[in-house]
Each structure stands twice: as C-alpha cells, then as structure tokens.
Amino acid sequence: MNRVQPMIARKNVAAYARVSTDRDEQQSSYETQVSYYENMIRERADWNYVNVYTNESISSTSTAHREGFRRMIDDALHGKIDLIITKSVSRFARNTVDSLTTIRELKEHHVEVFFEKENIWTFDGKGEQLLTIMSSLVHEESRSISENVKWGVRKKYEEETYRIPYGNLMGYTRAKDGGLKIVEEEAKIVRLIFRMFLNGSTYTDIKNHLESQGIKTKFGRDKWDRSVIKQMLMNEKYKGDLILQKIYTPDFITKKQVKNKGAIPSYYVTNSHQGIISAEDFDRVQKMIADRKYRYGKDRLGCHTPFPFSHRVQRATCKSWYTRGVATRYTKKKVPGWICWKNKYDSDQRCPSHRVPEAVLEQEFVNALNELLEDKQTILEEWSEKFDATYNTEKLQAKADRIQERMEKIAEKAEKLI
C-alpha cells in the first residue's frame, strides 16, 4: 500500500547583510555575514536559496541610498522572495518611518521579514508592535549620534582645530603642515577674474574671456558657469579669511544640507591662511556685487547689470560687448566711457574701435527713443496685434469646455453605477 507523503511548501528565502565602514575588521564581518546566511538558508529543506543582498561600506539612516537594499525590495515585490532574514532592526533601517513603511509594503505582497537578534517575525501578531518599539529606539540612537558629531565639529571650530576645505577652491592646495598653500598658476586666474570685475566686466564678460583664452576651470572643463564666477568673487577664502559652518544638516535622516542663515552659530576666522586677493580689493568687489544686485535688476540673460548700458551695446564687426570704464583727465575729473571688450582685454586680437564717452551713448539713446515716439501709433498697433495673437485663449477655452462636458458625463455615469 502506497503511503501519501505530505508536500512541503518551499519558501524562496534571501538575506540582507550590511556593515558601516570599509575598515579591515568590518570587511571580515561583512564576508562572515554573507557566508553565514548562505549556509543557513541552504541547510533548510523547506527553503530555496535566492541571494544574500548586501550593502558594503555604506552607512546611511535612509534606505534611499542603499542600492543592494533597494534591489532586494524590488525583487521581493515582484514575487521572487517569500522571506527576508537580517541580523537586526538596526541593520535593516535606522529610522522608524523607513522601517515600518518597507515592512508594511512587504506584508501587502506576502513577504515576511525575520530579525535574528530581536527574534521578530513580521507575520507574527506581536511582530509589528515590537518592531515599532525597536525601530524607535534605533531612530533615537541615530539622532543621538548625529547630535554628538555636530557637537564635536563645533567644538573643533571653537578650539581652531579645523581643516580648511580646498577641493573645490581654485588657487590652493593642501600644504604639508595641513594648511593651505597657493598654486600660482591657478592664482593668476583668480586675480584675473577679480581684476576684470573691478574694471566693470559682467559675469558673462568674464566667462566669455576665460573661454576664449582656453582657460580651464578648477576641474579641467572648458566651459565656465557664471554662478561659479560669482561664488569665487564672494568667497572670503581668497582674502585669507574663513567662515566656518556656512551650511549645516538640520535633519539627520535626510542629511540634506541647507545654508546657515543664523539657525546655528557660524565662526569667522581672520588671517587663517595666505590670501590671493588683498582685503581692500575683496571688499570693493563685495560692494560692487551689492550695488549690481539692487541698482538695475537683471538683464535678459539673468545677469545683474551694474549700469544701464551693460550687456546692451555691441560692436557690429566683432560682436563683442562694450564694457564701462572711468578715465581721469588732467583736471582730475573722472569721465565714464565705454570700450569694446576685445580692445580692453584681448591683446592678441585688438578691436580697432575707439572709446565712446558715456554722454554720447546717453544722447544716442535719447535720439533713438525720440524716433520711435514719432511713429509710436504704428508701433502700438503692431504690438497690439502681436499681443492679441499671443494671448488668444479661445481655442484653449473651447478645449476646456469639451473636457468639462466629458467630466460631467463621466460623473453622471459613475453616479448611476453607484
């Protein structure tokens, strides 16, 4: 007589292993975890080994930055995994929201999680209650660690045992004593940028000149960004000073950095290292930036304009912009004028144009405006036609009416079905 054998339902089982640092002892722990979980799963007759998902040498309070973790969850949600084994709640996620959200999502897809250290099975009736308590403790531990780190950093600032960041700073490199030393080739570029700005050049003027001369950025790129040039002009490190804690991390979970606008203490250190720009020139630049910001607003390219004709007067032949300068006559009277950018800065391809007094430009502007005003009726009619054509919304309104009519019909059908 044949005996009926009960069939064993085999679960597809995976494990998750993670270590926080890349030190040798942690590397050994990581390899041990992988080997341990693989043997553990393969030894069970009712389990099918899927994989040991790992995040090596990554420490994060959010699951958003763990590639191995995200891959495991994705496989589980697609039906490839029935059970996930991990060492503890702290290895799975270090904040309550991430932990509970992920586990509830897995439960909806019939995937269980087992935490060895705490002996918690998430399908167990008490599992989620225990998990909430454990996750909250881990969450508080992460917050405490974060506060301790912040306190340590601020203590270093107060005791002046900090290290000056230089990785993105053109003109400097790390000295043997841990401070900063000037890289002269890069420092020449910094001085050029400040000199051009002091002479009245806009950010775009400086950008164009640097690119036309083949001068590369700190990271070897050919293209310069106006915002980078502005940041350089406002960076106090170039005059030898240092502001500590310009940015900070308000949320230890997201780790998103924001500008410090007085929420926490900041520290200003004078003469912390050798400056590339004199303090006087740096302060003059800051005043000019402030004047540009509030004097004339922005031009059509989004640049702050220091003068009414900035980025508006162009040489017909070489297509370069005119920049403003002030000449001092023998009477010691300052006379403003405008000169082609190439004639002013490009010694190899000088433009044959001459300096134009600002008073001449002002008069020419008035003459051009008067010519327009003589025929203003024609201009207003053309503008009115273009305005009507641009902002005619009849077609859009008709389309909106059709959509509204469809919505009402659908709502009527839905009401009948209910």
- Is 32 found in the same domain as 103? yes
Show the tokens assigned to 244.
């500590």
Q: What are phi and psi of 363, to 5 degrees?
A: -65, -40
Q: What percent of the chain has pLDDT over 70?
A: 68
| pLDDT, position 138 | 60
Diameter of the chain measured on Cα atoms = 126
Q: Is the pLDDT of residue 183 over 80?
A: yes
Is 308 part of a structural domain of the chain? no
- Is 119 found in the same domain as 96? yes
- The pTM (predicted TM-score) of the whole model is 0.40
Decide which of 103, 126, 143 is a domain's last residue.
Answer: 143
Phi-psi region of 255 (alpha: psi -120 to 50; beta: other; left: phi over 0): left
Mean pLDDT calculated for residue range 123-131: 72
- Is 327 found in the same domain as 411? no
Mean pLDDT calculated for residue range 145-154: 59
Q: What percent of the chain has pLDDT over 90?
A: 11
Confidence of residue 107 (pLDDT cuts 50, 70, 90): confident
- Is 138 found in the same domain as 17? yes
Confidence of residue 286 (pLDDT cuts 50, 70, 90): confident
What does the alpha-carbon distance between residue 207 and residue 205 come to, in Å, rounded to a whole number?
6
Confidence of residue 57 (pLDDT cuts 50, 70, 90): very low
pLDDT in tens, 9-31: 689 999 998 765 444 444 556 77
Question: 3-state DSSP helix/strand/coil percent for the chain, to nearest 5?
Answer: 45, 15, 40
Nearest Cα to 86, choosing from 131, 33, 20, 124? 33
pLDDT in tens, 371-416: 888 877 887 888 888 887 777 778 888 888 888 888 888 888 877 7
- Is 185 found in the same domain as 101? no
Find the domain containing 217 and state its range. Answer: 172-295
Helix (H/G/I), strand (E/B), else coil: 262: coil
Is 77 part of a structural domain of the chain? yes
Q: Is the pLDDT of residue 60 over 60?
A: no
- Is 130 found in the same domain as 25? yes
Task: Select the more confidently predicted residue: 150 or 224.
Answer: 224
Q: Is the pLDDT of residue 50 over 80?
A: yes
Mean pLDDT calculated for residue range 29-44: 85
What does the alpha-carbon distance between residue 220 and residue 179 come to, in Å, rounded to a whole number?
24
CATH number of the domain within which 90 lies: 3.40.50.1390
Is 167 part of a structural domain of the chain? no
- Is 178 found in the same domain as 263? yes
Show the tokens assigned to 380.
């207003």
- Is 28 found in the same domain as 108? yes
pLDDT in tens, 398-408: 888 888 888 88
Residues 189-201: b if buried by 16+ CB within 10 A, e if exposed: bbebbbebbeebb
- Is 394 found in the same domain as 350? no
Confidence of residue 175 (pLDDT cuts 50, 70, 90): confident
How many CB atoms are closer than 10 A to CB 156? 13
| pLDDT, position 162 | 55
Confidence of residue 99 (pLDDT cuts 50, 70, 90): confident
Is 312 part of a structural domain of the chain? no
Decide which of 253, 280, 295 is a domain's last residue.
Answer: 295
CATH number of the domain within which 195 lies: 3.90.1750.20
Domain count, the chain: 4
Is 315 part of a structural domain of the chain? no
The distance in angstroms from the start CA to the end CA of the chain is 59
Is 305 part of a structural domain of the chain? no
Task: Select the more confidently predicted residue: 87 or 99.
Answer: 87
- Is 86 found in the same domain as 66? yes
Residues whose CB is less than 8 angstroms from the CB of residue 173 and which lie 6 or more positions away in sequence, other chains included: 166, 180, 181, 183
How many CB atoms are closer than 10 A to CB 240? 19
Is 32 part of a structural domain of the chain? yes
Is 46 part of a structural domain of the chain? yes
Query: Would you say 223 and 211 are in contact if contact means Cβ atoms under 8 Å apart?
Result: yes
- Is 194 found in the same domain as 271? yes
Nearest Cα to 323, choosing from 333, 336, 332? 336
- Is 346 found in the same domain as 329? yes
pLDDT in tens, 191-207: 999 999 888 888 888 99
Task: Estimate the crossing angle of helix 203-212 against helix 226-233, to 10 degrees.
Answer: 110
| pLDDT, position 139 | 61
Decide which of 295, 314, 346 is a domain's last residue.
Answer: 295
State the DSSP string of 321-348.
BEEEEEEE-TT--EEEEEEEHHHHH-SS
Nearest Cα to 213, choosing from 345, 304, 335? 345
Adjacent-strand bridge partners of 322: 340
| pLDDT, position 96 | 62
